[in-house]
């Protein structure tokens, strides 16, 4: 931590700050300039908040230096993390993963059709919600356990992996037999109790960025899962909230290369939620691959106009097939491949 004192700070104020730093476990190096005094705190105390120093008497500014995430930082695994799935497919290597499927599981026929389309288009993962978190209490809330069973059945039938959202600690055990990857939704990115439990699960996790989460917060949340011993973790950019209203969210494509620098974890892009409009999904999926994403997750519905949720952002089957074809060319242009 660095504390810059105000130019007129008294020796008493400076000493108080030094004492508080020492109390917390820092070694303090003092630089007395003609204009101001700067205190550098070296060390990594477990608990402290930089804001505490910002309001101490005589302090001009305080900055935290040592990042509070230890396991998520790139330095922990400079070579990068790869997540290996039970069928041998690997995310985080040279292959860009394709994950697709409807927002919600609605019926056996709908999800089977979806799986066949995803497989034919070249995908490896079938996505689909069994438990749905909806903003309105009057909206469709998902098929629950029945939906999980259907996902597993049709995925096995078509040779796909299942990724679906977990919303509650109590759902973890229930879901384990049916899935290949937990998805943590944007609204749960700071549900720390849930994250902690997922850290103890022996199952890969894809964690989405919260709608207003900084990348630093994304990494702090990742730390909760990693700290439990679960390193099969993928991060996912899915759009942030800004002032622009033409799109549901503003997809932060720069988060992809930036996360690749800051952390060793694979980064997946979700253009469907990123923009919330079917007509923009293809351009954003291509941009994601060009920017270095390790995978792309997309909503596709056999009949989007009849979808029970998120129909407006779901691709038509044909669109998905054509899109994956173009994504393949982009992947090759950046030295990667799509199966």
Tally of CB atoms within 10 A around 257: 13
Q: Please check whether residue 61 is in contact with residue 54, taking contact to mean a CB–CB distance below 8 angstroms.
A: yes
Report the residue number, 38 or 112, with the smaller CB distance to a second copy.
38
State the nearest-atom distance from the C-beta of 230 to a second copy, in Å: 13
Q: Please check whether residue 272 is in contact with residue 319, taking contact to mean a CB–CB distance below 8 angstroms.
A: no
Report the residue number, 24 or 112, with the smaller CB distance to a second copy.
24
State the nearest-atom distance from the C-beta of 139 to a second copy, in Å: 6
State the nearest-atom distance from the C-beta of 156 to a second copy, in Å: 29
Residue among 186, 146, 153, 140 at smallest CA distance from 167: 186
State the nearest-atom distance from the C-beta of 202 to a second copy, in Å: 19
Per DSSP, the three-state class of 322 is helix
Report the residue number, 11 or 305, with the smaller CB distance to a second copy.
305
State the nearest-atom distance from the C-beta of 190 to a second copy, in Å: 5
Q: What are phi and psi of 193, to 5 degrees?
A: -65, -40
Q: Rounded to an integer, what distance in angstroms lies between the CA atom of residue 189 and that of residue 200?
A: 17
Q: Rounded to an integer, what distance in angstroms lies between the CA atom of residue 186 and that of residue 273?
A: 10
Report the residue number, 124 or 221, with the smaller CB distance to a second copy.
221
Q: What is the dihedral of CA 159, 332, 326, 185, to 10 degrees?
A: 60
Report the residue number, 170 or 202, with the smaller CB distance to a second copy.
170
């Amino acid at each position: 931590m660095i504390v810059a004192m105000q130019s007129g700070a008294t020796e008493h104020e400076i000493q108080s700050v030094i004492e508080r730093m020492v109390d917390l476990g820092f070694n303090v190096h003092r630089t007395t300039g003609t204009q101001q005094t700067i205190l550098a705190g070296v060390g990594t105390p477990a608990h402290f908040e930089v804001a505490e120093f910002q309001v101490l008497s005589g302090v001009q500014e305080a900055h935290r230096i040592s990042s509070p995430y230890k396991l998520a930082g790139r330095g922990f695994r400079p070579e990068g993390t790869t997540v290996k799935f039970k069928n041998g497919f690997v995310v985080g290597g040279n292959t860009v993963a394709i994950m697709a499927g409807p927002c919600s599981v609605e019926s056996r026929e709908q999800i089977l059709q979806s799986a066949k389309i995803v497989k034919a288009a070249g995908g490896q993962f079938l996505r689909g919600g069994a438990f749905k978190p909806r903003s309105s209490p009057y909206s469709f809330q998902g098929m629950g356990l029945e939906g999980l069973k259907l996902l597993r059945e049709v995925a096995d039938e078509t040779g796909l992996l299942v990724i679906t959202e977990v919303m509650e600690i109590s759902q973890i055990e229930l879901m384990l037999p049916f899935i290949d990857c937990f998805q943590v939704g944007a609204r749960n990115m700071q549900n720390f109790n849930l994250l902690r439990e997922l850290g103890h699960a022996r199952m890969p996790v894809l964690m989405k960025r919260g709608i207003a989460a900084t990348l630093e917060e994304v990494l702090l949340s990742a730390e909760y899962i990693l700290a439990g011993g679960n390193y099969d973790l993928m991060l996912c950019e899915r759009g942030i909230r800004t002032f622009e209203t033409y799109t549901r969210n503003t997809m932060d494509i720069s988060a992809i290369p930036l996360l690749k620098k800051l952390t060793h974890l694979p980064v997946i892009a979700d253009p469907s939620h990123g923009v919330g409009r079917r007509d923009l999904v293809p351009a954003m999926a291509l941009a994601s691959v060009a920017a270095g994403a390790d995978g792309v997750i997309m909503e596709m519905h056999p009949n989007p106009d009849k979808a029970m949720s998120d129909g407006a952002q779901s691709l038509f089957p044909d669109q998905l097939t054509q899109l994956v074809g173009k994504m393949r060319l982009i992947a090759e242009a950046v030295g990667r491949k799509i199966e």
